Structure 1
Amino acid sequence: MAPYYTVKPDNALKRAEELIALGQEGPALQALNEVILSKRSRNNPLTVMEPMMLKYVELCVSLRQGKMVKEGLHQYRNIAQNTSVNSIEIVITKLLELSEQKVTEARAKADQIAVDVDDLEASETPESIMLSTVSGEQSKDRTDRAVVTPWLKFLWEVYRTVLDILRNNARLETLYHQVANKALNFCLTYGRKTEFRRLCEILRNHFQNVSKYSHQPHSINLNDPETLQQYLEVRFNQLNAATELELWQEAFKSVEDIYTLLTSSKRPPKFEMLANYYHKLTKIFMVSEDYLFHSAAWNKYSSLARAIQKNMSDEDQSRMASIVLLSALSIPIITTTKTRPGYLEADEYRTQKYNRLSMLMGLPQHPTRTGLLKEALNKNILSRVRPEIRDLYNILEVQFHPLSICKKINPIMNKLAEDPEMSLYVRPLHQVILTRLLQQLSQVYTTVKLDFVLQLASFPAPYSYDAATIEKFIMNGCKRDELNIRIDHASHSLTFETDLFAAPKSTVTEGRHLQSSPSDLMRTQLSRLAVNLNSALQMIDPTVMQDAQAEKDAAVKQALVNMEKEHRATLERKNIIEHRKELLETEVARLEKQAADEKAQAAAQKAEQERKRMEEELRRREEERLKRVQEEIQRDQALRIAKEISDKTGLQLKPEEVEKSDVKTLLDLKVNRLQTEQKEMADRLKQIAKRIDHTERAYRKEEIALLAKDYERQQKQDKAFYEASVKAEKEAAKQAHVQNMKIKGRLSRMMDDFTTYRNKLNSANIEKLEAKKKLSEAAIEKEKQDRIAEWKARRAELLAIAAKEEEERLAKEDAERRAKEEAEHKAAQLAKEKEDREIQRRELDERARKQLEKEAEIERRLAEKRSGASADTGRRPGAYVPPGARREPSAGAGPRGPGAGNLRSGSSGAYVPPGRRQAGGAPGGAPGGAPGGAPGDERRPFRGSGSGFGNRGGERDTNSWRRT
């Protein structure tokens, strides 16, 4: 394979695919590895590097090269983290998918190998039996070790590599947490406890190094609520996995990590997370047998569970309440909470431990058994617990019956032992019962026999107590300074100390007390004497009570007087505090806004400076890249030519000679060297050919004498082999024939029985077949009839539907036809009405024309009459002259000049209907504008007379003329 410098980055992927096609995955991976790890790859664009990296990852997974994957991912992260984070996520996601897929395939292959057994009767071969005896492993374990374990190791190495690459980078933070969750699921799925411990340590170291790398440009910001939320989710998943794997130390460390994150987070955690947190704490404390904090954790968890699930069922509420009360009752009464003389170091360690656990629980002080029971009772938990748990509480904490306490509690213990959740509390409850028994016996007896105590403390196996166990228990209580009992081994008795000056015990305040102890009476005798004397004084002198009552009344009056004043002062103080709070909040908001503005301005300036620096850096890098590319191209050409010279000619050039020489000098050296070698090779070949010819000729001469003998030997061997094979075949055939004849003789004796049985079976089968055939024919006939009936019903339904559709179609066509006829009828009516209106209009026009002609004739006659009268009598000056009789004066004559004519002779002043008018004027007038016949001087009897018929304006003018 050619070295990496002969393959350009753009062609590296193509070259690798060609090698993969030839089945050479190793050389293809090596080629991609050299290209990716080279310094030139830093200047390549991501569009070229990303496909190459995906193929590189695929080859690394296929060949299980974890080290090469780590080197390639580190190089690619340095290349792409400043430009494209998504590209890194794509490559890492591809790597994880391929690795997980390989593990799944390996598991399926291992299961198939374990299932596929060639011979079920001889699955255990002698070799496998010996191997299992030596190794002590089963075949499935060996198969998993050979097939699955290598891929599990590779996947674990991939997870570690990816987490190391993604750590302490804010831009890759989401992918980091996703990979961490996948790694936790990997440990949980395959039960890898060792890897889980290492993974927890890795995640813890990464979190501790966050502050160490906080000065870097893209460091993790723990003040961001989203970042802390992601860290919390990963730690909760880690806690869940630790409890599932039963790694309680890692679970406790995870709890501490979660508490650290919760205290540093500014956002309050979700209720679901806190509930999960306390639920896991209950398991951890139960495993460590720390029943005090186990009960406190259950108390916290129950409160959060009720707050989350508002509609919790009664059964769940009863179960949770029962466990809370039972866990509180299971807390040992004899605990290590007391300071013991002579144990200062142990007490200091215990105090530190309790402070630490209380801090993890979020408690202001150490919990106590009495406090937990009171808190449970304050929540009215007795009304929701199971009846047997309520009876257990009453027996242990309320009632007083030392002689029957164990008999009453044993049935309850048997019920609790049947429940898998509550059976965990049976053993600690027996210690509490034994403590209560000894406490109550100390209040009744002074000395009792040890056998009597053993009889009272009778528990069923495996919780029964013997004398040694009870003695050890009493000694432990005395050492804790909780019990004050002496054991007399000579008389086998227990003596309860009655020291009048004994210090009070905290355990005495718990449980039911029948009477006060002598030490209590001695310790309280003065107080009891003072109470009795006070009572006697009040009986002797009643004025003391009266004076006390008067003082009390006076104090009440004074308090009532000062109450209003104090109330007003309190209100004023409250207003002042509220005002100061508002001012303080306003000032804080202003300062925060100012700080945010300054921070944003500084960030903008920093971003601008960073942008300019990046631009300058990119420009400088581009120039350096181009320069390096040119130098590397020349160096690559020189190295390639030197390599060819060394490969073809054997001439080894020193690196400094290659660096100093240019391409032309190397090419000339190559050509000269090749020519010299070709000439030497030709001479050497001639000499070798001559020597080989002589040798071969001598071999053949010696061989001729031996060929005949070898031929004879081969013939004899072939004949002997043939005869032996024929003889063996005949013997085998004879033996097979004899054996077959024996088998035939045995079978021929049972042939009759076989024939009879076969005929019997055939007849029975024929009868069954006939019966089945008849049944099938009947079923077929029934099915046929059913289908015919169904088809008839369907056909009738279809016919009914078709008839209905036909009726609807006919009704629709009839409606359309009627609508069309109505439309045609309406159109005919409209045409007829239009024609009638036209005829009526014509008639009206004709009537109007006739009326106008008639009126014109009347006017003409009237004008003739008036003109005749005026000719006889003359006109008076200023008399009215009709328009038709008016004359225009000519140029050369007066009103009565020679051009004038009368109406009867057709003068120009006479009325001429429009149809009879001529363009040239009336007869007797001079053409060309004569006074009597000029067309422009034509007179009309009324306005609009020249318009068409029916002109209403002309009618109005005629009527007005008539009126005048």
Structure 2
Amino acid sequence: MSRFAKPENVLKRAEELVSVGQSAAALQSLHELITSKRVKSAPIASLEPMMLRLVELSVEQRKGKIAKEGLYQYKNIAQNTSVETLVVVVNKFIELSESKFQEAQAAADKISLETIDDLEAIETPESILLSTVSSDVSKDRTDRAVVTPWLKFLWETYRTVLDILRNNGRLELSYQKVAIQALDFCQKYARKTEFRRLCDLLRNHLQNAAKYQNQPHGINLNDADTLQRHLDTRFTQLNSAVTMELWQEAFRSVEDIHNLLTISKRPPKPAVMANYYEKLSKIFLVSGNYLFHAAAFNKYATLVRTQNKNATEAELERLGSIALLSALAIPVLKENRGRGVAQDLDDNKGKNNRLAALLNMSSAPTRASLLKEALHKNARAKTVIRDIHAALETSFQPLSICSTVSPLMEQLASDEESTQYVAPLQQVILARTFKQLSQVYETVSLDFVIGLCKFPEPFTLSEPEIEKFIMTGCKKGELTMRIDHSNNAITFESDMLEPISSVSANTGEIKVQATPSELVRSQLTRLAKCLYSTLTHVDPAFCEEKRALKKAAIERAAANTEQEHQDILARTQIIERRKELVQGLQLKKDQEEATKREILRQREAEAETKRIAEETRRRELERIKREQEKIKADESKKLIAELKAAGGLGDIDDKELEGLDTTKLRAMQLEQLEKSSKDINERMRITAKKIDHLERAFRRAEMPLVQKDAEEQARLDRANFADSQTATQELARSKHAADMVLKKRMSRIMPDFNEYRQKLADKRDKAYEARLAVAQKKLEEAKQQRRDQYRAQREEEDRLEREQDEADRLAYEEELKAEEARQQEAAEREKAEAERAAKAEEEKAARAEQQKKLDDQARVQREREEAAEAKLRAKREERNNPAPAAAAPPAGGDRPGVYRPGQGKWSSQSRGAAPDARPSSSGGYGDRDVGRASPFGAARPRDGPPRDAPVRTASGSGRDVPPRSTGESPAPGADGKAPAATTGKYVPRHLRGDPQAGADGARRGGGW
């Protein structure tokens, strides 16, 4: 593993690479450092200059991907410690990208100017040829080659920075700033596609922020300031969309703004809402929805009239006129009705409710309500618009309505702001004309109707357009009429069974008389009213009963008002409590779901990380295996090629060579090399022998010729040397003569030169003396200043030294006190240790005395046993050997390899060997030296009885002996003698030097 390089060293190396023209290598080195895992341990202060240099090189080389990866890694490092440095880096990134784009624009303009050779020539032959195959002009082609790459890079810069800053609450201000810059960029350069993508990107960021706002440093949409900043950004987006005429994106922006306003706890400013309603009215106008356009503009006009105290009379009159005109321009023919058939209105109703919600309205507005509101709240309407309202809504004149309104339409067309309402207003005039004609006539001439529907230019309608309008109205169920082309007439029909829904739009319309369908539909109602009126006149008691019931109902209502009020308040509290409980449960459920999602995401991430690691490891192993196989194959091919070139393969074909491994090929190569070496050595020997003879003959033949050539070469060298000497002398003479002439010419100006040099030297000496005096003065001042400084420094050091001495003295006194305390404690400890040692000595002496008594008892017991054993041994010897006892060898001494109990081995003592120099003993349990002196008395056996318990002897005498020791047996010495006695350890019988060992062995062998 390579050693981790410090960011400062990498930055310095990158600068060196840039200085020698290796900018790509410098960028790669910076990118490798920032993407390494160990860079997280580096301090932020050292990473910031490196990141600034990285983004600078990335912008210069247009390496957006490298900059993006580096910024993502730098964000992970800096977002939890210092976000300011991340803001500095991304701002530098945007600034460099914008400057490069501006430089590209300037370069493109310069190129466009330089390509114009003749300012008076409109078209060149080249431009004419290019125009035949391409619609682009020279400026467009230049921009596409020079400006477009930097424009694309700047757009990618904005996207990258927004993606980096999107999910950290501490970077929110920078995020909103960059978002507004990106919107201005799209608006300035008319990038409609990029604007749509930017709107989708901002929308996704907002959704993710709402989804993960519970995370640390997340975007908190419950904060009023945060929500206000998002609203400001969305309003900027809405203004840009309206300016660029991207109406779909504008409508989506309106929906985003409405959603943010819904969750906002802070009421929006009136100016903001006025802008909101104004843009929304433009969107509805472009979409052709005049109903909601009028509603939105009415909201806008109301806000301006009530909130803007500085509005002029002209502005208020304009707003009132447009509000009334937009309400009049709402089509009379409905889009959601069919003739005689009840249609499914759910889709259209849901759409209207959604649009009404954008206007903060509980239900969809109607034409009649908008007209009523425009008349009451916007009283400053222009006269021409009031005349149009009177002609359409308050008067019944089917034969002159078009001629009355036509001059007014010309006045509207002269105003640029009112022109857009002329076309929908024309449709309203036609609808009013046909509805009023249907109340007066049953059949009229088609030419008569067309003559009535005449409008001034350019609003003239042709006969097919009028017929199309009639068919559309009949299809929608608003008009009930037929066109008879054979008789060139129009017949107005009346459906007596027409449903009530088909006339719902006729409210507010001027009528001469009720239609037959209305008469049929209201017959029962009129009959009920007539009978009720008759009953009130015929039976006065009925009226009294009604009044009594009404009075009783009023009294009951008055008595139960308070109770009902309390019940309503209690129910309101219950509802609020239930809402809070539901919200709490929902919040808890959302938190649990979010926790589960986070856990699931972490598990999936861990599984994915593990899978990627396994996959990477598997691929790495496969790659290594492939490389090894490739190396082996290449090595085999190389060996085969060398063997083929050397001709050492013989009759082996290619298929057999493919099956051979590198070991066999190397063996074949070695064999071929040995064979070639032998052949070469043999040929060299033969050739050397031939060359020796030839060389000897050549040298004998060329010796006279070489001597002759040497003499000729010496003659030529002498002649060439003489010629060169002559030429050198002539050149020296001519140069000397020229130098003498020059010296004679220069000698005339030497006095002047010496005089000028002396003046210059005097002047410089004076300047030097002056500078020397100034320097000497400064030196003296510096010396004095240094003396003063040294004196002050010395005084300060003396003061500090005195203070330090005082502190050391106090510390020394404290240390002396502590040392005295420690010595006192040590004396007490030593006294306690001495007492414990004395007590231990007393206990040791008591144990030694007890051990001495035990040793004496053991010695007496041992002597008694030895005496008894000696008597028994003498008796056995007398029975077994009648010969004199002096000539009898020790028992068992004539048999090598006799096992001797108690000795722990086979004895191989030969016949006639000297007996062991050890005292006589029985070799039993009591013979072991358990009574040796010990500082703490006899040792207690591991598994035996207590130390003071009596032990039975081996002879079964029943006498008490001290317990045996558990020491190990020492090995015999190298000279065959018994080892030295070791206090506290067991010594076997055969190593004690007892002369009666043989007799003991015989006795014990016989006894056992």
Cα shift readout 1:88-126 (whole Å, capped 9, x = no counterpart): 001001111111122223223333444454532347443
Match of 1:168 in 2: 167
Shift of the alpha carbon at 1:557? 6.6
Q: Which amino acid aligns with 1:442?
A: S
Match of 1:390 in 2: 386
Match of 1:92 in 2: 90
**SS of 2:209 mapped into structure 1:** coil
Match of 2:146 in 1: 147
Q: Give yes or no for contact 1:396–1:511 (8 Å, CA) kept in 2.
A: no
Match of 1:136 in 2: 135
Q: Give yes or no for contact 1:286–1:294 (8 Å, CA) kept in 2.
A: yes
Cα shift readout 1:736-758 (whole Å, capped 9, x = no counterpart): xxxxxxxxxxxxxxxxxxxxxxx
Shift of the alpha carbon at 1:192? 0.2
Shift of the alpha carbon at 1:565? 5.0
Tell me, which stretches of 5 or more residues in structure 2 are unaligned?
592-1008
The range that moved more, 307-316 or 499-508, is 499-508
Match of 1:521 in 2: 519
The range that moved more, 76-85 or 268-277, is 268-277
Match of 1:434 in 2: 430
Q: Which amino acid aligns with 1:524?
A: S
Match of 2:452 in 1: 456
Cα shift readout 1:524-582 (whole Å, capped 9, x = no counterpart): 3444455556666777x5xx4x65665576568768877875677678779x869x979
Distance 1:494 1:109, change over 3 A: same
Shift of the alpha carbon at 1:4? 10
Distance 1:495 1:352, change over 3 A: same
Shift of the alpha carbon at 1:136? 2.0
Separation in structure 2 between the aligned mates of residue 194 and residue 36 of structure 1, nearest angstrom: 34
Cα shift readout 1:281-323 (whole Å, capped 9, x = no counterpart): 1111111111111112112222222343133221111111111
Separation in structure 1 between the aligned mates of residue 561 and residue 397 of structure 2, nearest angstrom: 54
Separation in structure 2 between the aligned mates of residue 142 and residue 267 of structure 1, nearest angstrom: 51
Distance 1:445 1:173, change over 3 A: same
1:475 aligns with 2:474: no
Match of 1:249 in 2: 248
The range that moved more, 30-39 or 390-399, is 30-39
Separation in structure 2 between the aligned mates of residue 343 and residue 105 of structure 1, nearest angstrom: 66
Map 1:948-963 → 2, pairs under 5 A:
none
Match of 2:965 in 1: none
Q: Give yes or no for contact 2:446–2:490 (8 Å, CA) kept in 1.
A: yes
Match of 2:944 in 1: none
**SS of 2:406 mapped into structure 1:** helix
Map 1:842-921 → 2, pairs under 5 A:
none
Separation in structure 2 between the aligned mates of residue 48 and residue 251 of structure 1, nearest angstrom: 45
Q: Which amino acid aligns with 2:321?
A: S
Distance 1:341 1:49, change over 3 A: farther
**SS of 1:107 mapped into structure 2:** helix
Match of 2:407 in 1: 411
Separation in structure 2 between the aligned mates of residue 209 and residue 571 of structure 1, nearest angstrom: 45
Cα shift readout 1:765-812 (whole Å, capped 9, x = no counterpart): xxxxxxxxxxxxxxxxxxxxxxxxxxxxxxxxxxxxxxxxxxxxxxxx
1:497 aligns with 2:493: yes
**SS of 1:119 mapped into structure 2:** coil
1:38 aligns with 2:36: yes
Map 1:560-571 → 2, pairs under 5 A:
565=559
Match of 2:269 in 1: 270
- Pick from 96, 102, 105: which aligns with 1:104? 102
Separation in structure 2 between the aligned mates of residue 402 and residue 136 of structure 1, nearest angstrom: 55
Separation in structure 1 between the aligned mates of residue 506 and residue 91 of structure 2, nearest angstrom: 65
Shift of the alpha carbon at 1:264? 2.9
Q: Which amino acid aligns with 2:30?
A: L
Match of 1:484 in 2: 480
Distance 1:413 1:219, change over 3 A: same
Match of 2:71 in 1: 73
Q: Percent identity over the alignment?
A: 52
Q: Give yes or no for contact 2:338–2:475 (8 Å, CA) kept in 1.
A: no
Q: Give yes or no for contact 2:392–2:432 (8 Å, CA) kept in 1.
A: yes
Distance 1:564 1:205, change over 3 A: closer
Q: Which amino acid aligns with 1:120?
A: L
Distance 1:39 1:444, change over 3 A: same
Distance 1:364 1:405, change over 3 A: same
Q: Which amino acid aligns with 2:398?
A: P
Shift of the alpha carbon at 1:349? 3.2
Distance 1:4 1:133, change over 3 A: farther
Distance 1:4 1:202, change over 3 A: farther
Distance 1:98 1:564, change over 3 A: same
Q: Which amino acid aligns with 1:269?
A: P
Map 1:621-632 → 2, pairs under 5 A:
none
Match of 1:303 in 2: 302
**SS of 1:210 mapped into structure 2:** helix
Q: Give yes or no for contact 1:332–1:432 (8 Å, CA) kept in 2.
A: yes
Q: Which amino acid aligns with 1:436?
A: R
Cα shift readout 1:657-680 (whole Å, capped 9, x = no counterpart): xxxxxxxxxxxxxxxxxxxxxxxx
Q: Give yes or no for contact 1:403–1:456 (8 Å, CA) kept in 2.
A: yes
Match of 2:257 in 1: 258
Q: Which amino acid aligns with 1:421?
A: E
Distance 1:79 1:556, change over 3 A: closer
Report the TM-score, using the length of structure 1 for normalisation: 0.56
Shift of the alpha carbon at 1:174? 2.3
Separation in structure 2 between the aligned mates of residue 84 and residue 276 of structure 1, nearest angstrom: 38
In the alignment of these two chains, the number of paired residues is 582
Q: Give yes or no for contact 1:46–1:80 (8 Å, CA) kept in 2.
A: yes
Match of 1:195 in 2: 194
**SS of 1:209 mapped into structure 2:** helix
- Pick from 338, 363, 366: which aligns with 1:365? 363
Distance 1:450 1:21, change over 3 A: same
Q: Give yes or no for contact 1:478–1:485 (8 Å, CA) kept in 2.
A: yes
Q: Which amino acid aligns with 1:54?
A: L
1:186 aligns with 2:182: no
Cα shift readout 1:47-79 (whole Å, capped 9, x = no counterpart): 111011112212211222111111111121122
Match of 2:218 in 1: 219
Separation in structure 2 between the aligned mates of residue 102 and residue 495 of structure 1, nearest angstrom: 73
- Pick from 373, 376, 389: which aligns with 2:374? 376
Report the TM-score, using the length of structure 2 for normalisation: 0.53
Cα shift readout 1:624-656 (whole Å, capped 9, x = no counterpart): xxxxxxxxxxxxxxxxxxxxxxxxxxxxxxxxx
Separation in structure 2 between the aligned mates of residue 298 and residue 561 of structure 1, nearest angstrom: 47
Separation in structure 1 between the aligned mates of residue 528 and residue 546 of structure 2, nearest angstrom: 22
Match of 1:50 in 2: 48
Cα shift readout 1:206-230 (whole Å, capped 9, x = no counterpart): 2233355456433333333333222
- Pick from 353, 366, 369: which aligns with 1:355? 353
Distance 1:262 1:177, change over 3 A: same
Match of 2:81 in 1: 83
Cα shift readout 1:184-224 (whole Å, capped 9, x = no counterpart): 11101100011111111222222233355456433333333
**SS of 1:332 mapped into structure 2:** coil
**SS of 1:333 mapped into structure 2:** coil
Q: Give yes or no for contact 1:102–1:151 (8 Å, CA) kept in 2.
A: yes
Shift of the alpha carbon at 1:261? 2.3
Q: Give yes or no for contact 1:4–1:31 (8 Å, CA) kept in 2.
A: no
Q: Give yes or no for contact 1:450–1:467 (8 Å, CA) kept in 2.
A: no
Distance 1:157 1:5, change over 3 A: farther
Q: Which amino acid aligns with 2:75?
A: R
Q: Give yes or no for contact 2:340–2:477 (8 Å, CA) kept in 1.
A: no
Q: Give yes or no for contact 1:181–1:234 (8 Å, CA) kept in 2.
A: yes
Match of 1:422 in 2: 418
Q: Give yes or no for contact 1:239–1:251 (8 Å, CA) kept in 2.
A: yes
Separation in structure 1 between the aligned mates of residue 401 and residue 149 of structure 2, nearest angstrom: 61
Q: Give yes or no for contact 1:4–1:35 (8 Å, CA) kept in 2.
A: no
Q: Which amino acid aligns with 2:348?
A: R
**SS of 2:491 mapped into structure 1:** strand
